[in-house]
Amino acid sequence: MTSEADQEGLSTHPFPDAPPGFVIRGVLWLRRALLRVADRLVPPDVVLFEHATGLAGTMLIGAAARLRLADLIGDGARTSASLAALTGTDSDALHRTMRALATKGIFDLLPDGRFRNNRLSEPLKSGKPWRTRAWVQYFASRSNVAAWADFDQTLISGDSAFARVYGQSIWTYFDAHPEERAQFAEAMMGLTIRDAPMIARRYPFGEVHRLCDVGGGCGTLLSELLIRHRHLTGVLYDNPGVLKSAASLFAGRGVADRVTLIPGSFFETVPSGCDGYLLKHVLHDWDDPTCVRILQVCRRAMTGTSRLLLVETVTERHAPTGMGPLSDVQMMVACDKGRERSEAELTRLLMAAGFRLARVYRAPTFSILDSRPEPDYGASGGDAATFH
Ligand SMILES: C[S@@+](CC[C@H](N)C(=O)[O-])C[C@H]1O[C@@H](n2cnc3c(N)ncnc32)[C@H](O)[C@@H]1O
């Protein structure tokens, strides 16, 4: 997590800004349209066959990431024999693996049999800001794939496959498997590096003074907000194991003096004394009653004038577009009845926990739901268990 290569992009400078929202939306729309046109050029069976082999793609690209093939090839070209010698793999098996990847456009296979990096394999190198290598490895990890292998039972019961296969939640599993947790945290860091500049620009953080990032991971977003909004101080709140890598991240970004790290569980308590509470991609990990419980714990830490900001990949029930629906099924399999939610569903959770939605700030890949505590919400804080 904190090796030199992994610190890539974590300087005192802000992360690069994304293009304007309308450009992102337009490009994504155009890509979808072109892919649909491309699919129409061949019989539908061919398209379905390709989709059905997605598991092979996951495992092939996962192996390339795990073996650091893109790093080993570097700017030159290498045979599978030389790569096999460096990675302790079988030369023929590796050649066939990389040839299959090359048919997907990942690595070039040269006429002399050597492999070269190309536009799609470059992001698999270590130390890239978006940490695609970590994300690919997480997705192809044995624990994630084993959970997906039990998908049929999830479809019947609606319950998390991960919890069924491993007898524990993914978070408890990570406690006992710190390497996998570090990999997941780095994968999340990559996603957050992409979103953080837009979150920092989209919301009026000038109105907040002390911000608590609840379940804030290793501090990627909070560090960006502190860099871009110099008046802010912050509190990072997460499991103790996750916070281990946060101190060096804040130090590397030059904001360590404006942040406090507090370990703990948001099922029990959340630090008080902040006027802003942020939960980014936390609620999508949990079922509705658990979300209400987390929000109620936050509410108890808040004063009447503090605000709660939810950042989620808002996913409308009848809209099959964007990353939301795919992220949603990953939550269904890996998390405790986690799901992506619509704006109305998130608003219902907020109301059940004693909040009023003040405003929604929309961006192409996420929305920020800005809410305030209802003054007349009962001291008992409602009953999360009966939320349906
Ligand atoms: C999907 S990650 C999101 C991380 C971060 N907010 C981001 O968007 O990059 C969910 C986070 O919730 C944290 N988490 C899970 N259970 C928690 C608990 N009981 N108390 C505090 N944090 C918890 C995890 O450690 C993880 O960092």
pLDDT higher than threshold 60 for residue 152: yes
pLDDT digits (tens, 9 = 90+) for 295-319: 999 999 999 999 999 999 999 999 8
181 alpha carbon – ligand 1 mean position (Å): 11
285 alpha carbon – ligand 1 mean position (Å): 9
pLDDT band of residue 375 (cuts 50, 70, 90) is confident
Tokens found for residue 187: 């994968």
pLDDT band of residue 322 (cuts 50, 70, 90) is confident
What's the pLDDT score for residue 244? 86
Mean pLDDT of 158-186: 93
265 CB less than 6 Å from ligand 1? yes
| Alpha-carbon separation of residue 183 from 82, 126, 177, 380 (angstroms) | 27, 12, 10, 39
pLDDT digits (tens, 9 = 90+) for 262-274: 999 999 999 999 9
Of 260, 175, 248, 268, nearest in space to 213 by CA: 260
% of the chain beyond a pLDDT of 70:
95
The catalytic residues are: 284
> Of the residues 239, 268, 311, which should be mutated to test ligand 1's pocket, given the most ligand atoms within 8 Å of the CB?
239
Nearest CA to ligand 1 atom 16: 171
What atom of ligand 1 comes closest to residue 189's alpha carbon?
A: 9
Mean pLDDT of 86-107: 98
AA letter at 167 = G
Comparing 57-61, 114-118, 234-238, 243-247, the range with the smallest average pLDDT is 243-247
Of 212, 353, 213, nearest in space to 296 by CA: 353
| CATH topology (fold) of 17-128 | Arc Repressor Mutant, subunit A (1.10.10)
Name the average pLDDT for the chain.
93
192 CB less than 6 Å from ligand 1? yes
State whether residue 43 is helix, strand or coil. coil
124 CB less than 6 Å from ligand 1? no
| Alpha-carbon separation of residue 6 from 1, 66, 236, 254, 300 (angstroms) | 6, 15, 20, 17, 37
AA letter at 195 = D
Domain extent listing, the chain? 17-128, 165-386
What's the pLDDT score for residue 384? 53
300 alpha carbon – ligand 1 mean position (Å): 19
- d(CA 23, CA 110) in angstroms, rounded, equals 35
Comparing 26-35, 59-68, 133-142, 241-250, the range with the smallest average pLDDT is 241-250
AA letter at 4 = E
373 alpha carbon – ligand 1 mean position (Å): 22
pLDDT digits (tens, 9 = 90+) for 21-77: 999 999 999 999 999 999 999 999 999 999 999 999 999 999 999 999 999 999 999
Asked whether the domain spanning 165-386 has the same topology as the one spanning 17-128, the reply is no
49 alpha carbon – ligand 1 mean position (Å): 36
pLDDT digits (tens, 9 = 90+) for 203-212: 999 999 999 9
233 CB less than 6 Å from ligand 1? no
123 CB less than 6 Å from ligand 1? no
AA letter at 231 = H
Residue-by-residue DSSP string for 360-388: EEE-SS-EEEEEEE-TT--TT---GGG--
Mean pLDDT of 353-376: 94
Nearest CA to ligand 1 atom 18: 265
pLDDT band of residue 245 (cuts 50, 70, 90) is confident
131 CB less than 6 Å from ligand 1? no
What's the pLDDT score for residue 260? 97
285 CB less than 6 Å from ligand 1? yes
Tell me which residue has tokens 């992220």: 327
Residues 165-386, CATH architecture: 3-Layer(aba) Sandwich (3.40)
190 CB less than 6 Å from ligand 1? no
- d(CA 159, CA 306) in angstroms, rounded, equals 35
44 alpha carbon – ligand 1 mean position (Å): 40
| Helices H / strands E in the chain, number of each | 18, 10
CB 195 within 8 A of CB 312: no
